[in-house]
Structure 1
Amino acid sequence: MSEYQRIETEAELRDLLGFPGKLVQHKVIGVIDEHCRRFIAQSPILMLATSDHEGHVDVSPRGDSPGFVQILDERRLVIPERPGNRRMDSLINLLSNPRAGMIFMIPGLEETLRVNGRAAIVRDEQLLQQMEAYGRTPLVGIMVEVEECYTHCAKAFKRSSLWNPESWPAKDHLPDIPKMIADHVKLPGISAEQVAASLNDSYTNRLY
């Protein structure tokens, strides 16, 4: 990146892009109020951002039926950890750096809800049983002590037309994910067809 002109200070950045207005400056709250509670209850998916102690960043989705995130009180929420691929990037990051950021989304709504705070991995049996789905209780959950809650404007969703089906590409033009994975792993004997079968088995039999 050294050959490109770079901005090195906040002063340079502010001179170029300016400052937020009063509405933006005052919209951040430190609790899960009634509005945030309603938003989270209707959200079937969130993006979870974490980083390790060296600052290596990871963002991954968490999704389930609306209401899958449990709100304990105005300061705490819990995200159930459903079965994944066992990389556990988010969980391992939280062991060394408890900071977490989330973006909650509701299909069709272009504004989103951002929540930031301190997170911990919990395994309280009574708590986790409340997040049982299809007869299976998560082994752990991510509890977040909320420090910031605020809405994010709809500009990115309007520019991308994300929720407009007419803007979606035809299915036969979508990336071939099994082939992508097979080409990336480059393991002998692993074909796109085998990856597709493995993914289908995981999606069919190991969602919960």
Structure 2
Amino acid sequence: MKVTFKNQIKSIGELREVMGFPREMVQKKSINFIDEHCKDFIAKSPMLFISTANENGSCDVSPRGDPAGFVGVLDEQYLVLPERPGNKRCDSLVNILSNPHIGLIFIIPGLKETLRVNGKAILSRDKDLLNKYEVNGKCPEVGIIVEVEECFIHCAKAFLRSKLWQAETWPEKEQLPKVAKVLADHINSSNFSKDEIQTVLEESYKKRLY
């Protein structure tokens, strides 16, 4: 059954009537290159989120993490993200091949502000470039090269509201979702029990990070 929603906003003008306009400081904070401040932020970030979309506009967001500074700054215009082993779905990579537009959010633990970077991406197998990102004797097979078009600091309100960095607000371990159980129910196959999935996950996390 199709669900309908009342009082939808259908134009930018209507949206602005409700939300207003950004202040001058917000309008002017975006730059189109990687300056020393952005470079320092990226060097201190062990975690980012990548937003991509396919040729039809269907979106995907994917996390990437490694020791702080794992994203390389080649110059004022280009970044390189080493692609580590995953589950081989390659959602972000497949999207980039049909639609180069990409958005990144860099996170630094304990810092409530984030760095947002938007641009266009390509995939590279340049070994001379990727060998610089070797970990545990293993080099990435693919790198995401991002041509930066926009960089800006995103304010802290989301982190303040969520209290993400305040450990006392975190749920107890027993209250966390049981991921193996979630996967077993989603897969819904007699070939994959919760315990079997848990074993596969633990082995992957121990042996196939790089």
Alignment TM class, shorter chain as reference: over 0.9
Tell me, what secondary structure is at the counterpart of 1:130?
Answer: helix
The correspondence of residues 130-149 of structure 1 with structure 2, limited to 5 A, is: 130-149=132-151
Counterpart residue type for residue 171 of structure 1: K
| In the alignment, structure 1 residue 115 sits paired with structure 2 residue 112 | no
Q: Deviations over 1:171-193 (max 9, x none)?
A: 00000000000000011131111
1:56 to 58, 66, 71: 58
Q: Deviations over 1:31-55 (max 9, x none)?
A: 0000000000000000000000000
2:70 corresponds to? 68
2:33 to 18, 31, 34: 31
1:9 corresponds to? 11
Tell me, what secondary structure is at the counterpart of 2:22?
Answer: coil
2:201 corresponds to? 199
Distance 2:35 2:5 in 1: 47
Distance 2:189 2:112 in 1: 41
The correspondence of residues 167-206 of structure 1 with structure 2, limited to 5 A, is: 167-206=169-208
1:86 corresponds to? 88
Cα shift at 1:137? 0.1
Distance 1:139 1:56 in 2: 26
1:128 corresponds to? 130
1:45 to 44, 47, 52: 47
Runs of 4+ in 1 over 2 A off after TM superposition: 1-4
- The sequence identity of aligned pairs, in percent, is 54
TM-score of the aligned structures, taking structure 1 as reference length = 0.99
RMSD: 0.6
Distance 1:33 1:95 in 2: 28
Q: Deviations over 1:143-181 (max 9, x none)?
A: 000000000000000000001100000000000000000
TM-score of the aligned structures, taking structure 2 as reference length = 0.98
| In the alignment, structure 1 residue 152 sits paired with structure 2 residue 131 | no
Q: Deviations over 1:113-157 (max 9, x none)?
A: 000000000110000000111110000000000000000000000
- Count of residue pairs the alignment pairs up: 208
Q: Deviations over 1:42-92 (max 9, x none)?
A: 000000000000000000001000010000000000000000000000000
Where do 5+ consecutive residues of structure 1 fail to align? none
Counterpart residue type for residue 114 of structure 1: R
